[in-house]
Amino acid sequence: MADRPPVRDWATDFDHTDPTWVADPYPIWDELRQACPVAHSDRYGGAWLPTRHADVAAIAYDTDDFTSRSVVVTEYRPPNLAPRGIAPPITSDPPFHQGARRMLLPLMSPQVIAKWEPSTREYCQSLVHELAGREVVDAATEYAQHIPVRVIARMLGFPEDDADRFRGFVHHVLEDVTLPLELRLPGMQELFEYLRDQVKDHIDNPRDDLTTALLNADMGGEVADLSHVGGTIALLLLAGIDTTWSAIGASIWHLASHPEDRDRLVKEPDLLPTAVEEFLRAYAPVTMARLVKHDMDWHGCPMKEDDWILLSFPAANRDPEFFVDPDEVIIDRTDNRHAAFGLGIHRCAGSHLARMELRVALEVFLDAFPVFHLDDPAAVKWSAGQVRGPRTLPVHIG
């Protein structure tokens, strides 16, 4: 990651890649919510950061004033590929967005996802089997990381041995965001070529998998063109891997540092689905971006065309005006309308898959290691960028 000057003032100079934010963003958002709920920064060519749930929701629902043309904040502005954007439906605006989303939703329904649960469980069990007998393991890189990669590779019908390459693509697109464009392009090109080859192979040899289903899916009465399908597949790889890895890792981190919650889940496994929602709320991994469509005064903020909005669903989830005791993790919290999967028309299309992976990953880990704790809290490292989760997580399981 390129060197960046330290943040001078969070209200006027914020940077989500600053080491202080990366280590612990919650106090920053708390302070901003009280002092300056929509912060501004000249970095990245101009960016705004709403920290209250009401403001995050208002922007997420407002597709007239904000575009999803790019959802990752970088130093440059992406080309205008409207109405589709590079990775439909996440980069598409209405009205195109609706068809692109409808083409995907039936392929990610609860019924479809339920079919993947047994093989996901089996895979998680094989991972804990490998770890058993060791004293300290890295639960981020030796456990959480592998699960979503394997599941999505199987669903798409891609070679499972390419897992390391997928992780490389994801890291490049979502974490190397401060690199200049000329250093970001070759990685994007590699992803594009990889997907082109996979899609071609599926056209030549159709089979019963998600890639073939997308190639044949109905997009407003016809099949989508190849670059649309390629963009959606890229999105599924990028949207499904770091996000779920982060959610599994953050949940294990919580349980490794809160033995009372860990013990309770071991004794009351039926509570797991409720606890999963609370982990998603409290440690929501995904922050999205929007671009301002035109100059305007937005509730007193002088927004300019092409300013970024860093749309922090994680900050919304910690707003005391929306949640009681938001900084407390209450694993049996029942009233939990969290925004971890987003709000509005772009709400996560993979939420059933993500929830299944998260629940199964935790169930299997708790079953194999009912007593575990952080080996060295200071050694835990969190990712920088818009997807937050532990990337080094040494846990004592022995």
Q: Which residues bind ligand HEM (CB under 6 A)?
A: 60, 68, 71, 89-90, 101, 104, 152, 235-236, 239-240, 243-244, 247, 285-286, 288, 313, 340-342, 346, 348-350, 353-354
If the CB atoms of residues 157 and 342 are measured against ligand HEM, the closer one turns out to be 342
Half-sphere exposure of 82 (CA within 13 A, CB side): 9
- Cα 176 from Cα 384, distance rounded (Å): 9
Helices 163-174 and 146-156: angle between axes, nearest 10 degrees = 110
If the CB atoms of residues 339 and 395 are measured against ligand HEM, the closer one turns out to be 339
Q: How far is the CB of 141 from ligand HEM (least distance, A)?
A: 18
If the CB atoms of residues 136 and 345 are measured against ligand HEM, the closer one turns out to be 345
If the CB atoms of residues 262 and 355 are measured against ligand HEM, the closer one turns out to be 355
Q: How far is the CB of 396 from ligand HEM (least distance, A)?
A: 25
If the CB atoms of residues 32 and 100 are measured against ligand HEM, the closer one turns out to be 100
If the CB atoms of residues 17 and 243 are measured against ligand HEM, the closer one turns out to be 243
If the CB atoms of residues 199 and 236 are measured against ligand HEM, the closer one turns out to be 236
Q: Find the residue with minimal CB distance to ligand HEM.
A: 350
* Strand-pair category, 308-311 with 47-50: parallel
Q: Beta-strand (E) ranges in the chain?
A: 38-41, 47-50, 66-67, 136-138, 218-219, 222-223, 288-292, 296-298, 301-303, 308-311, 373-374, 381-382, 390-392, 394-396
Q: How far is the CB of 295 from ligand HEM (least distance, A)?
A: 22
Q: How far is the CB of 100 from ligand HEM (least distance, A)?
A: 7
If the CB atoms of residues 7 and 286 are measured against ligand HEM, the closer one turns out to be 286
Q: How far is the CB of 245 from ligand HEM (least distance, A)?
A: 9
- Cα 58 from Cα 44, distance rounded (Å): 23
Q: How far is the CB of 248 from ligand HEM (least distance, A)?
A: 8
Half-sphere exposure of 101 (CA within 13 A, CB side): 17
Q: What is the dihedral of CA 84, 86, 88, 94, to 10 degrees?
A: -30
Q: Which one, of 246, 234, 233, 252, lies nearest residue 287 by Cα?
A: 246
* Six-digit token string for 222: 């016809």
Q: How far is the CB of 378 from ligand HEM (least distance, A)?
A: 26
Beta bridge partners of 308: 47, 291
If the CB atoms of residues 7 and 85 are measured against ligand HEM, the closer one turns out to be 85
Evaluate the CA torsion angle 141, 5, 306, 59 in order and state its sign.
positive
CA angle 47/52/53 to nearest 5° reads 115
Report CA 136 to chain centroid distance, whole Å. 27
Q: Which one, of 92, 95, 76, lies nearest residue 84 by Cα?
A: 92
Query: Alpha helix locations (H) across 74-162?
Result: 96-104, 110-114, 117-131, 146-156
DSSP H or E segment with residue 224: none
Q: How far is the CB of 217 from ligand HEM (least distance, A)?
A: 13
Q: How far is the CB of 147 from ligand HEM (least distance, A)?
A: 10
If the CB atoms of residues 38 and 239 are measured against ligand HEM, the closer one turns out to be 239
